[in-house]
């Protein structure tokens, strides 16, 4: 899962990831409902009563070289939360590319993404078209689509 900024509107810095939860940049996130202070975030898991607050801007686990369990060649990559905190991209009007960076796609790759149509978060936390879920949480609008299946990249203008 990956996210690349084309236009950033706002970013909320410094949320603590929920203990035991792996967050990858681009995941839709919500406040942890067990922490009343609103200082802890977690990946959206599909609870119909929750509203996504934005997309994670950092990753909490190191990106490993394929099949080795070891850090990649340089041991470093963009958007890794070196300080332990995770920022969140928020604000109506941000524009982001979502694509598979080798850790899995943030998109429902079997969906047909269509320009000007709403993008929703599915109950599995993936981004898809509104026809794929019963109670959609709309997060944006498709503004560009390139590739297909594993190479699919969708540009989304956010509405959250």
> Using H for helix, E for strand and C for coil, what is the string for the chain?
CEEEEEECCEEEEEEEECCCCCCCCCCEEEECCCCCCCCEEEECCCCCCCCCCEEECCECCCCECCCCCCECCCCCCCCECCCCCEEEEECCCCEEEEECCCCCCCECCCCCCCCCCEEEECCCCCEEEHHHCCCCEEEEEEEEEECCHHHCEEEEEECC
Number of domains in the chain: 1
pLDDT digits (tens, 9 = 90+) for 39-86: 999 988 777 678 899 999 888 876 665 544 444 444 445 565 556 789
The pTM of this model reads: 0.83
Which of 78, 98, 83, 62 lies closest to 13 in space, CA to CA?
A: 83
pLDDT digits (tens, 9 = 90+) for 90-136: 878 899 999 887 777 889 888 999 999 999 988 778 899 876 566 66
- What's the average model confidence in pLDDT over 146-153? 87
Q: What is the pLDDT of residue 102?
A: 75
Structural domain range at position 147: 2-158
């Amino acid at each position: 899962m990956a996210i690349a900024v084309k236009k950033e509107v706002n970013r909320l810095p410094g949320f603590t990831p929920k203990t035991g939860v792996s967050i990858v940049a681009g995941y839709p996130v919500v406040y942890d409902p067990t922490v009343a202070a609103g200082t802890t975030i977690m990946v959206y898991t599909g609870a119909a009563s929750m509203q996504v607050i934005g997309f994670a801007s950092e990753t909490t686990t190191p990106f490993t070289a394929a099949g080795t369990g070891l850090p990649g060649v340089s041991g470093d990559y963009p958007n890794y939360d070196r300080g332990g905190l995770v920022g969140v991209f928020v604000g109506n009007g941000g524009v982001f590319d979502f694509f598979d960076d080798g850790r899995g796609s943030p998109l429902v790759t079997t969906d047909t993404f269509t320009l000007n149509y709403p993008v929703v978060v599915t109950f599995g936390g993936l981004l898809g078209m509104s026809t794929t879920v019963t109670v959609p949480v709309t997060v944006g609008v498709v503004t560009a689509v390139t590739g297909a299946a594993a190479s699919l990249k969708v540009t989304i203008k956010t509405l959250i």
